A and B are shown apart, each in its own frame.
Chain A
Amino acid sequence: MKLGLTLYSFGADLHAGKMDVFDAIRKAAELGCDGVEIIAEQHIPGWPNPSLDDLTQIRELVESLGMEIFCFSCYFGKNIRSDRPQTFEELVHHAKRMIALTAYLGAPIMRPAFNANPVGQLIDFVNAVLPSLEKYGVIWGVELHAPHPPSYYQEALDAVDSPWFRLVPDFSCWQGPNAPGQIQSNPLSTLEPLLKYTVHCHAKAHMFTADGEEPNTPYKELLGMLKDYGFKGSVSGEYEGWFIKYAPSEQPAKTLFNLLEKYGR
């Protein structure tokens, strides 16, 4: 499997204006990442109307450092306007634009954050953009994140039944009860039936012990399951401890990537 970091992990310095997307990409390369994940609303200059030149610079910088863009993440919000929710047609228009941008960046996977509640809403949405996903060669990776149960997207995966609609499990679903925000942890065995749909993972981390382990997340077991399965996709380390307290981003990013290498290589 390919190992890297989402640039989200550098959030402390990005949020404080101490780092930009180009700095973060270079840091990830210095740490030895195979690739990175980029989040539209956090990292792309000029969002939501980026210049092709900026996108080209990002793509070329990643390539020049011997990495790839594992995944392009974005948000499909319904509450953008204060006077009314987004219409279905607006959501579809936005999704098609994100699919094209994902392809332009050379990323194989787009991870939209979208409230699929009830999950059936997602089925019509994905089906409406399936031709665009196929045309551009982009996989819609739906993110499975706590507090949703591991089986949450099974109905949608079955209904869409397409290689262009796959799963991005976030390790939060298997974090222990002391993880920030955790409501219900899940047995590790619940990952097994999801592996055949999994194209990319978010390796969530909030904190580390002195010996570089994430105390609430069973990294050894989760990465071991991916290895045993022969997973050929990508894993992005996602350090989220920067919400809680500031620390220069490089150190937790390095600790997290070392943890991925320890159990994922």
Chain B
Amino acid sequence: MNAEPPRTNRNQADRAKQGIFVFSGLGQRDLFASNRIEQTDAGWRLLIRNPWYTGTHLSTVSSLGIAVNGHNVSEGHIFLSLRGQMVPAAYAKNLHEIWWGMGEVAEVFLTDPAIPALLKDTNEIGVEIDMRTTFSYGFPDDTLPYRLTGEVERG
């Protein structure tokens, strides 16, 4: 048996940084459930998975930002739909009753009138989600700042 406990050169802050890095990688890996951005009656639609490692209350999404080819879509033009229930992204933080399951695909609808002129055949999408953790993992402000990207084709 070990007589002396092995020590590391990490502290809690390092552990939190490593956690943000690892959780962000997981979120990035599975983020896009489709490689297309498609026009629908409700707006331009993207399909994204819950990036967190478990299901979570929608209220933990403190903010959701989307950029299309470098253009930041204003919050008022972003809507999120889970199981057909559509809510303005800005209201997500109030909706603790709505659940976003592990790996569950959410529809994101963008109503920004600037989007058609921005779209190319292949498009760079930025997804920024500030997700509050329901208990402490040691992240600053108990928030995991997802800064994710991906390429989607115009459908």
Q: Which residue of A lies closest to B101 (CB)?
A: A47
The residue that B134 contacts in the complex, of A14, A78, A177, A182, with Cβ under 8 A, is A78
Q: A64 an interface residue at 8 Å Cβ cutoff?
A: no
Q: Which residues of A have CB within 8 Å of B142?
A: 79
In Å, the complex CA distance between A243 and B23 comes to 7
* Contact partners of A117 in chain B: CB under 8 A: 136
Size class of the A contact interface (CB-based, 8 Å): 35 or more
In the complex, the answer to whether B22 meets A244 with C-beta atoms within 8 Å is: yes
- Complex contact A75–B135 (CB within 8 A): yes
Counting chain A CB atoms within 10 Å of each CB, the highest count among B19, B33, B55, B93 belongs to: B55
With A82-B62, A115-B136, A181-B15 as known contacts, state yes or no: A187 contacts B1, CB within 8 Å. yes
0/1 per residue, A106-118, Cβ < 8 Å to B? 0000000111010
CB of B42 closer than 8 Å to a CB of A: no
Report B-chain residues with C-beta under 8 Å of the C-beta of A186.
Answer: 5
A182 in complex: contacting residue of B8, B30, B55, B93, CB < 8 Å: B8
A44 to chain B, nearest CB (A): 9
Please measure, in the bound complex, the distance between the C-alpha atom of A52 and the C-alpha atom of B49, giving whole angstroms: 26
A-chain residues with CB within 8 Å of residue B15 when the two chains form the complex: 147, 181, 183
CB of B117 closer than 8 Å to a CB of A: no
A80 and B57 contact, CB distance less than 8 A: yes
Provide the A59-88 mask, 1 if CB < 8 A to any CB of B, else 0: 000000000000000011111111100000
Cα–Cα distance between A243 and B21 once the two chains are bound (Å) = 10
How far does the alpha carbon of A80 sit from the alpha carbon of B60 in the complex, in Å?
7
**Residue A230 CB within 8 A of the other chain:** no
User: Is the beta-carbon distance between A188 and B2 smaller than 8 angstroms?
Assistant: yes
When A81-B96, A82-B132, A187-B1 are in contact, do A243 and B26 touch as well, CB less than 8 Å?
yes
- When distances are taken between beta carbons in the complex, the residues of chain B under 8 Å from A82 are 59-60, 62, 93-94, 96, 132
**Distance from A169 Cβ to chain B, minimum over Cβ atoms (Å):** 16
Query: Which B residues touch A11, using CB under 8 A?
Result: 53
B85 at the interface (CB under 8 A from A): no
Q: Known: A15-B102, A82-B62, A183-B12. Is A114-B1 also a contact (CB below 8 A)?
A: no
**Cβ-defined contact, B1 with A189, below 8 A:** yes
Given contacts A15-B53, A39-B54, contact A185 B6 (CB under 8 A): yes
Query: Would you call B102 and A16 a contact (CB within 8 A)?
Result: no
Q: From A42, A184, A246, give the contact of B54 (CB < 8 A).
A: A42
A79 touching B8, Cβ below 8 Å: no
Contact A79 B133 (CB under 8 A): yes
Q: Is B120 an interface residue (CB 8 A)?
A: no
Q: What is the chain A residue whose CB lies nearest that of B94?
A: A82
Q: Which residues on the A side are within 8 Å of B99 (C-beta)?
A: 47-49
Q: Scan residues 105-131 of chain B and give those whose CB is less than 8 A from a CB of chain A.
A: 105
Min CB distance B44 to A, Å, is 22
Binary contact track B1-38/A, C-beta < 8 Å → 1, others 0: 11111111011101100110011011001100100000
Please give me the residue from chain B that is nearest to A186 by CB atom: B5
The answer to whether B7 touches A177 (Cβ under 8 A) is yes
CA distance A80 to B96 in the complex (A): 6
Query: Within A122-181, which residues are at the interface with B (CB < 8 Å)?
Result: 147, 176-177, 180-181
1/0 per position for B71-112, CB-CB distance to A under 8 A?
000000000000000000000011010010111010000000
Q: Given A14-B103, A82-B94, 9 more contacts at CB 8 Å?
A: A11-B53, A41-B55, A49-B99, A182-B8, A183-B12, A184-B8, A185-B2, A185-B5, A243-B53
Q: Mind listing 29 A-B residue pairs with CB under 8 Å? A: A17-B33, A41-B55, A42-B53, A42-B54, A47-B55, A49-B99, A76-B135, A79-B60, A79-B132, A80-B59, A80-B96, A80-B134, A82-B59, A82-B93, A82-B94, A82-B132, A115-B135, A117-B136, A147-B15, A177-B6, A184-B5, A184-B8, A185-B8, A187-B3, A187-B5, A243-B22, A243-B23, A243-B25, A243-B26
